[in-house]
Amino acid sequence: MNEDTLELAQFVVIPLAIFIPLFREITDISNEIIELYKTAHTNKRICGVLLDRVQAAEAAVKNLIIREKERPEFFTGPNNVIIRNLVGIMKNIKEFVKEICELKGLRKYLVSKGMEERFKELTREFDGYMSNLNFTITIEIRAQIERDNLAIRTDQEETNQLLFQLAESINFNQKKVNNDISYIKEDVMSVKNDVVEIKNQFILMVKCFEEFAIAKERAKNIADASLNILDFKPSSETRRKVRRWVRKSDDYDVAFKEMDESLLKDLNREVGLLKMLQESRDVIQFFGLVEDKNNSKLYLVTEWAKHGNLREYYKKQKIDQSSKIQIALDIVRGLNFLEAYQILHHDVRSANIMIGSYGNAKIANFGMSRGFIDTSRNIKSTSNTIRYMAPEKIRGMPYDSRCEVFRI
């Protein structure tokens, strides 16, 4: 084929029907990214500027369909190839958004500027194809570059802060936490003023969030081991259905909570969640189940909260402002930890926040908790729960992490 033939081929109009499947893909990808953006928990600004570009492409192809007869010169073989390439880069953008919008997908980018480099690579390719197609992005390029840089900088700062808070929430004192997690403590304390330099340590931590099997297996050695009631001795101190017992091997105080076996499904759910959350110092620590065969009773064994729950604590103690702030921070760190595991507590209130020996707060009672994608139960509201409910929950709207924050 000579040069004249090739040049002529560039102007041969091909049917719109050949473009329609590609245009549909662009619309479908745009809709998927919209849903990812709506539910994004991290890097929402970066997701937003990528969404702006994708929606610009969608608007452009919709305009082409409407004005097909006015723009016959667009529907050529070369432009069909460019559209295919544009669809390919949009798929890559969707996968990138999916990875960065949740904490568990961030691990691969927690190295030196990995996320920023990938973002710039994707936007450069996307903008190039849009330019080749003469699609007008209805934004001023220089201003958009500034917005891109601001989104990257702000989201990275917030992500680093979140990771640092999660690192602080790790319970470094527990022997069951493996060596990979334990040595992060020393690094975090020594470089506390330079978050960037501890990203490699955060990679190990986030990897544990992503690979649930690791956390479950580590907890399984403890929680699934059959606890023997003879290894504990009871005390006279009780709180409703909870009694303080003492582990004989080390005189460690634990809580025995009597369980109703008729609610076995809820018990299994709570135990499963507690096993998964062993690393956090801001979540009540779980040791296992004990069966008292003599009295036909089953007990959930957790750490003992010396000062009871938060409601009892502030009724008995005069809490100064700094202590109140610290308690709030403990709760928020705990909720951040739950969010990293995509868990919603559903019942955050003073009765379910336990206070330890040093006035530290720990989230407890996971009987109503759910994963992000799990179906919420219709739970009858009581005077004890309604006062803590977010307006969205009262109106029957979907429950999400914003409702958890409202409860605080």
Domains and CATH numbers, the chain: 6-159 (1.20.1410), 161-209 (no CATH), 221-303 (3.30.200.20), 310-407 (1.10.510.10)
- DSSP secondary structure string for all residues of 153-194: HHHHHHHHHHHHHHHHHB-TT-TTS-HHHHTHHHHHHHTTT-
pLDDT at 322: 86
Nearest to 275 by CA among 329, 324, 213: 213
- pLDDT above 90: percentage of residues in the chain: 24
Q: How far apart are CA 123 and CA 147, in angstroms?
A: 13
What is the widest separation between alpha-carbon atoms in the chain? 98
pLDDT at 181: 45
C-alpha gyration radius of the chain: 27
pLDDT at 205: 54
Nearest to 55 by CA among 86, 27, 21: 27
pTM of the model: 0.55
For the chain, what is the mean pLDDT?
A: 75
No. of helices (H) and no. of strands (E), the chain:
16, 9
Nearest to 45 by CA among 127, 138, 148, 133: 148
Q: How far apart are CA 264 and CA 200, in angstroms?
A: 41
pLDDT at 379: 44
pLDDT at 100: 87
244 in Cβ contact with 255 (< 8 Å):
yes
pLDDT at 110: 60
Who has greater pLDDT, 193 or 151? 151
Q: How far apart are CA 94 and CA 251, in angstroms?
A: 54
Q: Average pLDDT of 302-316?
A: 89
Question: How many other CB atoms are there within 10 angstroms of residue 55's CB atom?
Answer: 13
Q: Which amino acid is at 328?
A: A
Lowest mean pLDDT among 61-65, 114-118, 124-128: 114-118
pLDDT at 24: 96
- For the segment 395-407, what is each residue's pLDDT rounded down to a tens digit? 555 555 555 555 5
Q: How far apart are CA 105 and CA 147, in angstroms?
A: 24
Who has greater pLDDT, 205 or 133? 133
pLDDT at 241: 82
* Backbone angles phi and psi of 74, in degrees to 5: -75, -35
- For the segment 337-394, what is each residue's pLDDT rounded down to a tens digit? 777 766 776 777 888 899 988 888 998 887 655 444 444 444 444 445 445 455 555 5
Q: Is the pLDDT of residue 119 over 60?
A: yes
Q: Average pLDDT of 181-190?
A: 47
Lowest mean pLDDT among 24-33, 97-106, 237-246, 292-301: 97-106
Q: Which of 30-44, 151-165, 253-267 has the highest mean pLDDT?
A: 30-44
- For the segment 144-172, what is each residue's pLDDT rounded down to a tens digit? 777 787 888 888 777 777 777 666 666 54
- For the segment 97-107, what is each residue's pLDDT rounded down to a tens digit? 998 888 766 66
pLDDT at 105: 63
* Backbone angles phi and psi of 11, in degrees to 5: -110, 5
pLDDT at 25: 96
Q: In which residue are the tokens 């000579």 written?
A: 2
216 in Cβ contact with 120 (< 8 Å):
no
pLDDT at 62: 93
pLDDT at 162: 72
How far the first Cα of the chain sits from its last, in Å, is 72
Q: Average pLDDT of 255-260?
A: 84
- For the segment 198-250, what is each residue's pLDDT rounded down to a tens digit? 455 555 555 555 544 444 454 444 445 468 989 999 999 988 888 999 999 98
The strand ranges marked E within 270-316 are 286-292, 297-303
pLDDT at 248: 92
